[in-house]
Amino acid sequence: MPWWWKSLFRKRALDTQLNSEIRFHIDELTDANVAAGMSLEEARRRAVLEFGGGEQIKEDLRDVHRVAIVETTLANLKSALRFLRKSPSFSMTVILTLALGIGANSAVFSAIDAILLRPLPFPNGDQLMKLSQHYVKANGVPTVVAPVRLEDWNRMNSTFQAMTGYYTENSSETSGTLPEKLSEAFVTQRFLQVWGVSPALGRDFSPEEEHVGGPSAVLISDRFWRNRFEASQDVLGKKLRIGNRSLSIIGVMPASFLFPERDVDLWSAVPVDAPIAQNRRWTWYKVIGRLKPGVTLTQAQANLAAVQAQLGRAYPETDKDLAVEIKALKEMTVGESRGSLWMLFASVTLLLLIACTNIVTLLLARATQRQHEIAVRFSLGASRSAIVTQLLTEVFVLAFFGATLGLFVAAGTSKVFRSLASGLPRVEEIRLDWRVMLYALACTIVATLLCGLVPAIRGSSRTLSGSLAQANRTQVSGRNRLQWLLVGTQVALAVTLLAGAGLLFRSLRALGQVSPGFDASRVLTFRISGSYGETADWEKLSQRIEQSVEVLGKLPGVEAAATTGDDLPGVPQHYPTELEFVEGEQDPEHKIVAESRFVSPSFFSTMQIPLLAGQGCRDPLLVPKSTPADLTGMRHVDVTRIEVLVNRSFAATYAPGSTAVGRHLSVQGLAFLKPEQAGEIRGIVGDAREEGMNHEPSPTVYWCMSASGPDPFYIVRTHSAQPLTMAGTLRQKIQEIEPGRSVFGITPLEELIDDAFAENRMRTVLLTFFAATAVSLACIGLYGTLSYSVNVRQREVGLRLALGALRGQITKQFLLQGLRVTLVGCAAGWVLALACSRILSGMLYGVSPSDVVTLSSVVLLVIIVAMVASLVPAVRAARLDPMRVLREE
Amino acid sequence: MAVDRSDLLQGTLDMLILKIVALGPVHGYGISQRIQQVSREVLQVQQGSLYPALHRLEKRGWLAATWGESESGRQAKFYRLSAKGRKQLQLEESQWNRLAEAIALVLRSAS
C-alpha cells in the first residue's frame, strides 16, 4: 500500500507507530540513565527532558507523512471557484459550451450503451440465439419452424441448454363490454426456462397445461395486469375469454419482459401433442435457443447442421432440403440500428472536439490577461507544475459543472430519441445510469486535458510571463497564430458535420420525391383480429375476408377496399420466394426469385397500380361455383384455382421477348399453397416500390388471395384527405359484420410509410442539430478570436487611422483575416468530409457521399455565416477613435 | 518543521544518518548514540531533527524500515539502507569530500 494511502486513511495506525518509536527511544534513554546510577523515577524524568518536546516531534513527523496532494488540490479548487466567481460571463460560456458538448455526447453514448453494448436484459443474454429453417433451394430465405422439428432439434442437439418456440396472434378478449384486441404469444414448452425469467407473480405453466386436454392457463403482461386488473394481487385464477377459449390466469410477467415482441399481453402454452402440431410441413414457430455455457456460435451451427442432416435422412420428403440458420438474438434485434448510432456518436465526438477547441481559444485569450497574476505567483516562488495544476484545476471545475449540466441535456435527449425513433430496438432501455455518469466523468477529464493543457503550459511559460509587460502591447504573433489555427480547425470540423447533415437531408428529400408507383394518400390501413386456427379451413377464411372487403368497399365515403397480406406497400419488408414456370424447361442456373405478395383482387384499383397487359384477377366471390349462392347470400370462394399478377420487372426479367400472361407459376414452402398448386398469370401490372421508397421495384408476384393469414392488412381508400376521420364509421361497420372481432392498428398508410423511415429522420434531425451547433460554435470562436485580435491591435489601428488610413481598409483587412482562416478551414473540412463519407454510405439515397452540390453549398453557407460573424469586430475596429486609443496607450 | 539547523547541517545530518545506517540495521536511539560516540561527543543530534529526518529519508525510499526486537528485548523500528539510499550516500559523500577539499584549499591559500 502506498504511503499516501496510509497517511490518508490509516492515520491512527501511523500515530501508534510514531508513539511506539518515541517510547522506545525514551525507554532506552531511561535504561542508560539507570545504568549511570540514577533512581528509576529520576532516570525517566531526565530521559523525557533530554528527548525534548514529544508532542512537537510527533507533529513534525505527521507533517512528513501528510499528503500534500489533497491539501493543494483543495486550495486549487478554492482558488478555481474564486476565479469562476470573478469572471462569470467567461465561466458561463465555457460551462454552456461543454454542457452541450458533453451532454450530447453522453446522450448518444447512453443510447449506444443501452442498445448496442449491453447484453439483452435476460440472465446471460448473450447465450440466446435465434434459430430458423430455410429451404436450401429457395434462396436461403429463413422461415418459421415446424413444431415437431423444433422438438427434434431440442432433443437431438448437444450445444443448447434448451430451445423454445413461439408465434404471436392478434386476438380479441371478449369478457369485457367491448372486444379488446390483445397480442397473444403461443409458446412451446421450456419458454420461460430459455429466457431465464420467472413470473413476477404466480407461476410457470405446469406439465399438464402443456398437453392436450390439460387445464387452460395463461400468463399476462405487466402492462395488461395494470390496465385491466389495476395491479390487483388476486388476479391469479381469474378467467379471460379469447374467442371460444376460456383461460385462467396463472401468473404475471415482470414489466421488463418485453420479448418476443414488445406489445405481447398474453402467453399461452401450445400443447406439444396437439394433432395439428405433428405435421412436418406445417411451420409455425420462431425459435429461440439458449446455448450451453462456453459453446460458440460456430460450434452450435455445426452441431445443428449435423442434427438436420440426420433428420433429412429420416424424413427425406420434408427435411432433405432444409438447413438451419442460427444468429445471435441480440444481433437480430439491434443489428440494423448499429450504423446510425455509431454515425451519431462520431458526429457528437466531432462536436465535443469543436467545443474543446473553442474553449482553448477562449482560454488562450484569457491567459494573456492573466499573465500578470501568473508572473506574481512565479515571483512568490510557485513552481511551474503548481501553476499548471492550478490552471488545469480551473478548467476541470468548469468542465465538471459543464458535464453536470450536460447530464440534464442528456436526460432530455434520451426523450428525443424515444420520440424521434420509437421503432428503435430497446429504446425503452435508454436511461441515465452510473455507466453514463462515469462516461460523462471520463469526458470531463478528457475535455479538461484537451482544453486546458495547451493554455496551461503556454500560460505558465516563464519566458512569456517574464517579458509580459511589453509583449502584451506590441507582439501578437506567436500565440495568435495558434489561435487562428484553432479557429480553422473548428471551421473544418463544422464543415464536416454540416456536410454529413446536408447529405442526409438531401437524401431524405430525394426519398420524398420518389414516385412510388402507387398512391398512398387518403388510404387508411387496419387489421381485424383473427386466429391461426381459422387457417385450417382456407375456404371459409377467404370467404369471410372477401366478404368484409366487399362490404367495406361499398361504404359511403370509401372509394375502394382491399387486403394485402402481412406487408403494406411502401413499408420495407422482404419476402423473396423461389418460383418455377410450370410450362417449358427450367434453366437450373437461372432461378426465378421474386417477392411474393398476397392481395385481394381489388388491391390494384385501391392502390392505383395500373394494369399494363392482360387482365386483372377476378373477384373470387363472383367466380361461379358448382353450387349456387345460397339464400343467406353466402357465396363460396374456390381456393383451388389461384390467379396471379406479375409486375413489369418480373415480366422483363423472367419472360423477356415472350408474354408471361397465361403461363403458370408454382412455388415451394408456402403454408397455404400445396406444392402441386400453381397460379395462372392473368396480367402484368406497373412497378411499385412495395419494399420501401428506397428500393428500386424488384420482380414481384402478386398472388390474388386475400387469406394468406388470419388477419391481413386491410387498406381502404377514402374520399377524405384526412382518412382517419373514417375510423369510427369503419369500426362500427366491422362490429356489425364481424361481431366478436376487434379492429386495431387503424393508421393512415402515409404515416406508416413515414414511420418506416423514422430512423432515417432521426439521424437527419439529430445530425442537423449537431451540425448547426457546430457551426455556431465555430462562429463564436471566429468572432471571439477576431475581437481579441482587434483589441490587441487597437494601438496599431489607431495609429494607422491617425495617419490617414481609410476606415474601409481597416474593415477589409480584418474581414480578410477572418475569411482567410475560414477558407482554409473549409478546404480542410471538404477533405475531411470526403474521408468520412464512408460512414454515411448505406444511409444515403439518391445522392452520392461525395456530392459536389451538397459540399459546395455547405461551404458557401459556412463562408456566409463566418463573414457575418467577422463583420462585427471588423467594423468595430474601423470605428475606433484614434485619439482616444492613442491617449489611453 | 524543525529547521532550526542551518541548511548545511540539515544536509549533513541526512548524510550522517545514511552513513551510520549503512553499517547495518539500527534503530533511532542507536543512531543518535552512534553519532555522539563516533564524533567523540562533538556532534549532538536533537531528537527533534533526527526523527523527522529518518521519516523523510524513508519516504524518499533511501531507507527501509522494519519492526523488530532490540538488544533490550523491546519492540523497535530498525532502519536499513536501500539500494537507492546506498547510491545517494556515495553521491553525498563524494560531494561532501569535494566541498571540504575546496574549502580547505581556500583556507590554506588565503592564510
Cβ-defined contact of A21 to B77 (cutoff 8 Å)? yes
Least confident of A54-58, A476-480, A751-755: A476-480
Which residue in this structure is represented by grid cell 422438438? A151
Measured in angstroms, the CA of A384 and the nearest CA of chain B are apart by: 22
Cβ-defined contact of B28 to A24 (cutoff 8 Å)? yes
What was the pLDDT predicted at A432? 81
What was the pLDDT predicted at A475? 47
In a domain, B95, yes or no: yes
Among A348, A356, A445, A451, CA closest to A110:
A348
Question: Taking a contact as any Cβ pair under 8 Å apart, which residues of chain B between 4 and 43 contact chain A?
Answer: 27-29, 32
Cβ-defined contact of B29 to A24 (cutoff 8 Å)? yes
Range ranked top by mean pLDDT from A409-423, A609-623, A633-647: A609-623
Q: What is the largest CA-CA distance in chain B?
A: 54
Cβ-defined contact of B48 to A53 (cutoff 8 Å)? yes
Q: What is the CA radius of gyration of chain B?
A: 15
Q: Are A304 and A326 in contact (CB under 8 A)?
A: yes
- Whole-angstrom CA distances from A822 to A426, A480, A805, A835 are 42, 16, 26, 20
Which residue in this structure is represented by grid cell 500515530? A15
Q: Are A553 and A715 in contact (CB under 8 A)?
A: no
B48 inside 8 A of chain A by CB: yes
- Cα nearest neighbour of A24 on chain B: B76
Instruction: Determine the structural domain holding residue B48 and report its residue range.
Output: 7-110
Give the cell for residue B111: 592564510
Task: Using an 8 Å CB-CB cutoff, list chain B residues near A3.
Answer: 59
Which helix (H) or strand (E) element contains residue A324? strand A322-328
What was the pLDDT predicted at A163? 92
Least confident of A2-16, A139-153, A790-804: A2-16
Least confident of A555-559, A703-707, A861-865: A703-707
β-partners of residue A217 are: A248
Q: Quote the pTM value.
A: 0.70
Task: Using an 8 Å CB-CB cutoff, list chain B residues near A57.
Answer: 47-48, 51-52
A740 inside 8 A of chain B by CB: no
Strands (E), A785-837: none
Q: How far apart are CA A520 and CA A241, in angstroms?
A: 37
Cβ-defined contact of A56 to B46 (cutoff 8 Å)? no
Task: Determine the average pLDDT of the residues in A694-719.
Answer: 86
Question: Does residue A575 carry a pLDDT above 80?
Answer: no
Task: Using an 8 Å CB-CB cutoff, list chain B residues near A63.
Answer: 1, 52
- Whole-angstrom CA distances from A834 to A342, A345, A499, A831, A862 are 18, 18, 9, 5, 17
- Cα nearest neighbour of A54 on chain B: B48
A24 inside 8 A of chain B by CB: yes
Condensed to tens digits (0 to 9), the pLDDT of residues A767-788 reads: 888 888 888 888 888 888 888 8
Residue percentage of chain B with pLDDT more than 70? 85
Task: Using an 8 Å CB-CB cutoff, list chain B residues near A52.
Answer: 46-48
Which residue in this structure is represented by grid cell 469562476? A84
Question: Does residue A631 carry a pLDDT above 60?
Answer: no
Task: Determine the average pLDDT of the residues in A194-222.
Answer: 86
Condensed to tens digits (0 to 9), the pLDDT of residues A274-286 reads: 777 777 777 778 8
Give the best residue of B55, B56, B70, B77 to mutate against chain A (max A CB count within 10 A): B55
What was the pLDDT predicted at A84? 81
Q: How far apart are CA A304 and CA A327, in angstroms?
A: 12
Condensed to tens digits (0 to 9), the pLDDT of residues A95-110 reads: 888 888 898 889 889 8
Residue percentage of chain A with pLDDT more than 90? 10
What was the pLDDT predicted at A579? 79
Measured in angstroms, the CA of A60 and the nearest CA of chain B are apart by: 5
Condensed to tens digits (0 to 9), the pLDDT of residues A438-459 reads: 998 999 999 888 888 888 887 7
- Cα nearest neighbour of A48 on chain B: B47
Which residue in this structure is represented by grid cell 517574464? A466
Measured in angstroms, the CA of B65 and the nearest CA of chain A are apart by: 12
B18 phi-psi bin (left φ>0, alpha ψ -120 to 50, beta other)? alpha
A860: confidence class by pLDDT, cuts 50, 70, 90: very high
Give the best residue of B46, B47, B54, B72 to mutate against chain A (max A CB count within 10 A): B47
Give the best residue of B31, B36, B44, B51 to mutate against chain A (max A CB count within 10 A): B51
Instruction: Give me the number of domains chain B comprises.
Output: 1
Q: Are A859 and A829 in contact (CB under 8 A)?
A: yes
B108 inside 8 A of chain A by CB: no
What was the pLDDT predicted at A381? 65
String of DSSP letters for A246-302: EEEEEEE--TT---S-TT--EEEEPPTT-GGGG-TT---BEEEEEEPTT--HHHHHH
Q: How far apart are CA A546 and CA A633, in angstroms?
A: 13
Size of interface A-B (CB pairs under 8 A): 57
Give this complex's ipTM: 0.85
Q: How far apart are CA A160 and CA A485, in angstroms?
A: 59
Measured in angstroms, the CA of A445 and the nearest CA of chain B are apart by: 30
Condensed to tens digits (0 to 9), the pLDDT of residues A791-825 reads: 778 888 888 888 888 888 888 988 998 899 999 99
- Whole-angstrom CA distances from A34 to A28, A41, A42, A366, B36 are 10, 9, 9, 70, 19
Task: Determine the average pLDDT of the residues in A147-170.
Answer: 88
Residue percentage of chain A with pLDDT more than 70? 89
Measured in angstroms, the CA of B67 and the nearest CA of chain A are apart by: 9
Condensed to tens digits (0 to 9), the pLDDT of residues A381-390 reads: 677 778 888 8
In a domain, B1, yes or no: no
A27 inside 8 A of chain B by CB: yes
Condensed to tens digits (0 to 9), the pLDDT of residues A33-55 reads: 888 888 888 888 888 887 777 77
What was the pLDDT predicted at A467? 45
Among A768, A762, A766, CA closest to A498:
A768
Q: How far apart are CA A667 and CA A676, in angstroms?
A: 9
CATH number for B24: 1.10.10.10
Cβ-defined contact of A25 to B59 (cutoff 8 Å)? no
Task: Using an 8 Å CB-CB cutoff, list chain B residues near A29.
Answer: 29
Higher pLDDT, A858 or B38: A858
Cβ-defined contact of A24 to B75 (cutoff 8 Å)? yes
Mean pLDDT, chain A, integer: 82
- CB atoms < 10 A from the CB of B57, how many? 24
Helix axes A68-86, A88-112, angle to 10 degrees: 110
A56 inside 8 A of chain B by CB: yes
Higher pLDDT, A712 or A260: A712
B56 inside 8 A of chain A by CB: yes
Q: What is the distance, to the nearest Å, from the Cα of residue A584 to the centroid of all Cα atoms in its chain?
A: 50
Least confident of A137-146, A169-178, A227-236, A304-313: A137-146
Task: Using an 8 Å CB-CB cutoff, list chain A residues near B56.
Answer: 64
Measured in angstroms, the CA of B21 and the nearest CA of chain A are apart by: 17
Cβ-defined contact of B59 to A65 (cutoff 8 Å)? yes
What was the pLDDT predicted at A632? 42
What was the pLDDT predicted at B111? 60
A36 inside 8 A of chain B by CB: no
- CB atoms < 10 A from the CB of A289, how many? 27
Task: Using an 8 Å CB-CB cutoff, list chain A residues near B2.
Answer: 56, 60
B77 inside 8 A of chain A by CB: yes
Task: Determine the average pLDDT of the residues in A118-127.
Answer: 83
- CB atoms < 10 A from the CB of A761, how many? 16
A889: amino acid identity, one letter: E
Nearest to B59 among A3, A21, A22 (CB): A3
Cβ-defined contact of B72 to A51 (cutoff 8 Å)? no
Give the best residue of B60, B69, B70, B77 to mutate against chain A (max A CB count within 10 A): B77
β-partners of residue A560 are: A717
Task: Using an 8 Å CB-CB cutoff, list chain A residues near B32.
Answer: 25
Please list, in sequence order, all residues whose beta carbon lies within 8 angstroms of the beta carbon of residue A481, skipping any fewer than 6 positions away.
Answer: none
A559: amino acid identity, one letter: E
Among A221, A212, A219, A304, CA closest to A255:
A221
Cβ-defined contact of A31 to B56 (cutoff 8 Å)? no
A763: confidence class by pLDDT, cuts 50, 70, 90: confident
Task: Using an 8 Å CB-CB cutoff, list chain A residues near B55.
Answer: 61, 64-65
Q: How far apart are CA A321 and CA A340, in angstroms?
A: 37
Cis bond upstream, residue A260 (ω within 30): yes
Question: Taking a contact as any Cβ pair under 8 Å apart, which residues of chain A between 64 and 93 contact chain B?
Answer: 64-65
A237 phi-psi bin (left φ>0, alpha ψ -120 to 50, beta other)? left
In a domain, B2, yes or no: no
**Parallel/antiparallel/unpaired status of strands A180-187 and A266-269:** parallel
Q: How far apart are CA A358 and CA A98, in angstroms?
A: 10
The runs of H, that is alpha helices, within chain B are 7-21, 28-38, 47-60, 83-110
Condensed to tens digits (0 to 9), the pLDDT of residues B53-76 reads: 888 888 888 888 888 888 888 888
